[in-house]
Structure 1
Amino acid sequence: MKDMHSSLKAQTIFGPVALSADNTPAALDLRGYDAAEIILGVGVGGITFSGTNKIEFKLTHSDDDSTYAAVETADMLGVAVASGGIIKSLIADHPAAAVYRFGYKGGKRYLKLLADFSGTHGTATPLSATLLLRHGHDNPQANQA
């Protein structure tokens, strides 16, 4: 078995938390790492999602943590990015918990992930997002147990 542990760092983006409105995205600094993966956990939908009542996960990136632009498909692995940096949309019934992953290869230093709620969300949806950073310039990485 190969050692992934020594070159991997996990950072919370948000949650686990039940949300019914937009999160306030924090800047995620990728400095010192050569690979980034976003892990998105979605619990059973608090509502029945539709084209009106939905959650869109929007990813933006920046060189200076000041001016952010939406990622595009060329910046990502494993996903076709929709307009505005949408990497995942919840627009249909979500009856079971699921995990999704998105590779970032855009080359900017900072990322922000917004859970953008539209419509009416009378019941919250459980969500979590984690940033996995790999291939750190200073290995081994500290344990996070």
Structure 2
Amino acid sequence: MKDLHSKLNIAVIAMAALAADNTPVALDLQNYNSAELLLGIGIGGITFDATNKIEFKLTHADDKADGTAPDPGDFTAVDIDDVLGVTAVGAGGIIKSLVAAHAAAAAYHFGYVGGKRWIKLLADYSGTHGTATPLGLFLIKGNGTDNPQVNQA
């Protein structure tokens, strides 16, 4: 069996039952050569439709010219060339939309290949969400330049 454990680092983006937008944090990909986003979505708190929906928006950015982390306004939407596992990317970097009933928990994963140092994932809520939907959003950073990675247990 091959050792995958020593080549990964996992960051939690959000893990909660949400009824409104999360506050996305800037995730640093420096010193990693691959990235995978995992979305664990529980049973929908509401019946999603074209008005009452959740759209998962992925944005990315490089460092500022002075080498410091980007400002929130520096992030731009990814496009289809930046993401694996989707057939299209919607306006604003939408990689997944919940616009119909979500009656069972499910997991989805998307590869980021955009080449920028920083990414953010927003769970963008539209309409009325009287009941929260459980979400687990994670970033797996892989193929680090300094392996083995530190144990996170």
- Structure-2 residue corresponding to 1:93: 101
Give 1:118-129 correspondences, 5 Å limit.
Answer: 118-129=126-137
TM-score scaled by length of structure 2:
0.93
- Structure-2 residue corresponding to 1:37: 36
Which segments of 5 or more consecutive residues in structure 2 lack a partner in the other structure?
Answer: 64-69
TM-score scaled by length of structure 1:
0.98
Sequence identity, in percent? 65
Q: Separation in 2 of the partners of 1:77 and 1:33? A: 17
Q: Separation in 2 of the partners of 1:55 and 1:107? A: 26
Which segments of 5 or more consecutive residues in structure 1 lack a partner in the other structure?
Answer: none
Letter in 2 for 1:7: K
Q: Separation in 2 of the partners of 1:48 and 1:135? A: 39
- Structure-1 residue corresponding to 2:66: none
- Structure-1 residue corresponding to 2:54: 55
Q: CA deviation at 1:83?
A: 1.5
Two-structure CA RMSD over aligned residues (Å): 0.6
- Structure-2 residue corresponding to 1:83: 91
Q: Per the alignment, in what secondary structure is the counterpart of residue 61 of structure 1?
A: strand
- Structure-2 residue corresponding to 1:108: 116
| Segments ≥4 residues shifted beyond 4 Å | none
Say yes or no: does 1:143 pair with 2:151: yes
Q: Per the alignment, in what secondary structure is the counterpart of residue 21 of structure 1?
A: coil
Q: Per the alignment, in what secondary structure is the counterpart of residue 17 of structure 2?
A: strand
Say yes or no: does 1:74 pair with 2:81: yes
Say yes or no: does 1:11 pair with 2:11: yes
Q: Per the alignment, in what secondary structure is the counterpart of residue 21 of structure 2?
A: coil
